[in-house]
Structure 1
């Protein structure tokens, strides 16, 4: 019996004191290596198509001053989050991206690297970016304070956005499934249909959240150049 609703998101499953839930974070790596030594199939062609589309889009977002190959960092981030979001939709597989341990680690690492690079190499540009063009002189101190606060909370907003969206859908699916024990047959059929629709919605959310996190990280990176 569950002590509370959020206990299903607690990574407590272990075998010989080894936390097995976090192993699901690495399951996505099993889908990658075979593409290097087998004949290209539809899965590999789709992988290349998505990678090329993301590469072109991120290259436009980063601008002409970006380093060669910098888009592959964000493409890897997209696929990593996408794999983990989708794996959480399967029964008995732990959703690692529903924990701040993973999402905050990713966002904080990226944000800190952008900030260190920007303030060390483009100090003047970072100061200029804190005051939007056309700001009256009397409002400049307030704009600097507002921009500083909005910049500091960026990694937190990225992490909480991903975690909250992953938890919300899974929690709703769990709550609805727990009500099916005391339902009649016709109500049970309706419940199953609702669950299927919610599962389709969660699949869309898994893709959208991976895309949103990656695009926002790309935009944050383009601001420091």
Structure 2
């Protein structure tokens, strides 16, 4: 079991260079060096425009729309790091709790400071949902406070657990190599399907992380 989880350990050997995978996305991000845009750049541009329109519908009339630049950058950063982990011999930084907890906790603390300092009455209103009976109001304050406090933890664990689960499944299947050719081909096809599923999970988890952050941001204003 220790050998299986060793791929998620950033400190292996004598060179602590695994965290440099956080900067590898700079090599893949398309640059405008040419007169005509490449197809990859047009694809990224199409994705960014789609994200802008999608997030704008969620955050509309609730907050400054320029915050969408930060949220879209956060989406692309998590997405690139999720994809980096699908390549061989590259450390999956998004599968480490230090990575996800740093992002979720820092943004959550910023939103809490802003909400309680600038919109104190609005934050108190959120502790008691509309239509709550008077008898349950005191319990609802405790429940809402607890759910608000565990938000950064749930955000980070959701991302880490999904990244670890898929990688562990691929590692377990790759360690079992059957001697029969037909079984080998079947295991190879299953691994390819799981790899495609992991690519979909990388996109979905990045989207879910940012959408939940937008919803938490709307509650502060």
Q: TM-score range by the shorter chain?
A: over 0.9
Summarize the alignment of residues 57-206 of structure 1 with structure 2, pairs less than 5 Å apart: 57-180=54-177, 182-206=178-202
Summarize the alignment of residues 46-65 of structure 1 with structure 2, pairs less than 5 Å apart: 46-65=43-62
Q: Calculate the TM-score normalised by the size of structure 2.
A: 0.95
Q: Which runs of 5+ in 2 are unaligned?
A: none
Q: What is the aligned partner in structure 2 of residue 7 from structure 1? A: 6
Q: Calculate the TM-score normalised by the size of structure 1.
A: 0.93
RMSD: 1.4
In structure 2, how many angstroms separate the alpha carbons of the residues matched to 1:143 and 1:68? 32
Post-superposition Cα deviations, 1:92-149, rounded to whole Å, max 9, x if no partner, equal 1110000001000000011001100000110000000110111111100000000001
Q: What is the aligned partner in structure 2 of residue 29 from structure 1? A: 26
In structure 1, how many angstroms separate the alpha carbons of the residues matched to 2:62 and 2:184? 57
Q: Which runs of 5+ in 1 are unaligned?
A: none
Shift of 1:8: 1.9
Moved runs in structure 1, 4+ residues, more than 4 A?
A: none
Q: What is the aligned partner in structure 2 of residue 44 from structure 1? A: 41
Give the total of aligned pairs: 220
Secondary structure of the residue aligned to 1:36 is: coil
In structure 1, how many angstroms separate the alpha carbons of the residues matched to 2:104 and 2:2? 31
Shift of 1:68: 4.0
Change in Cα spacing, 1:3 to 1:222, as seen in structure 2 (3 Å) is closer
Q: What is the aligned partner in structure 2 of residue 208 from structure 1? A: 204
In structure 2, how many angstroms separate the alpha carbons of the residues matched to 1:68 and 1:171? 39
Contact between 1:85 and 1:166, CA under 8 Å: does it hold in 2?
A: yes
Q: What is the aligned partner in structure 1 of residue 213 from structure 2? A: 217
- Tell which deviates more after alignment, 40-49 or 199-208: 40-49
